[in-house]
């Protein structure tokens, strides 16, 4: 499934591959790799509330700021797991986290086969990188919040995602 013009980069329309997920949908499975090259599926992420922060590349200013922001927020949300997904190589993710002291978010790479991007509708066809997005999953793998950021260079709505995570956590407590 292709969604032409579903996102833009500096105003230029780009095509997203995959469905546009909505709150209430069941979270699709995926096969990512962690910073030690270990495969990680949806089931491997556990049964807690999760914020999945999707970024194009950690080596860009907005992605850098987004990941650092969620790293800071993770310390305030002990019952929520925060995951960052990008196409960056696992080695680059590990190096970036070490350079900036980011240790509260779990870094996962979609570089092997793009299954996360294709299943969550975040894979940019023209660039083979992820589009910026946020997903909040509850303990039962239901999507509680979705934001596909229209312009890749823009920040997501952090407060809406954090609020949805808190609400999902309260509902399962």
- Catalytic residue set: 63
Distance CA 137, CA 81 (A): 10
Distance CA 108, CA 40 (A): 8
Whether the CB-CB separation of 106 and 14 falls below 8 Å is answered with no
Helix, strand or coil for residue 147? strand
Distance CA 125, CA 80 (A): 31
Distance CA 70, CA 139 (A): 19
A 10 A CB-CB count for 153 gives 15
Distance CA 63, CA 95 (A): 15
| 154 φ/ψ angles, rounded to the nearest 5 degrees | -90, 155
């Amino acid at each position: 499934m292709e969604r032409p013009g579903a996102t833009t980069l500096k105003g230029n329309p780009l095509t997203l591959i995959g469905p546009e997920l909505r709150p209430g949908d069941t979270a699709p499975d995926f096969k990512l790799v962690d910073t030690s090259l270990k495969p990680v599926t949806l089931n491997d992420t556990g049964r807690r509330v999760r914020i999945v922060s999707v970024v194009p590349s950690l080596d860009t200013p907005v992605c850098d700021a987004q990941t650092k922001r969620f790293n800071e927020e993770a310390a305030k949300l002990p019952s929520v797991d925060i995951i960052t997904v990008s196409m960056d190589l696992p080695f680059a993710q590990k190096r970036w986290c070490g350079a900036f002291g980011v240790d509260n978010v779990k870094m996962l790479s979609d570089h092997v086969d793009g299954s996360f991007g294709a299943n969550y509708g975040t894979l940019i066809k023209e660039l083979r990188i992820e589009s910026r997005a946020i997903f909040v999953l509850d303990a039962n793998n239901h999507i509680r919040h979705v934001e596909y950021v229209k312009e890749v260079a823009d920040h997501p709505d952090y407060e809406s995602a954090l609020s949805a995570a808190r609400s999902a956590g309260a509902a399962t407590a």
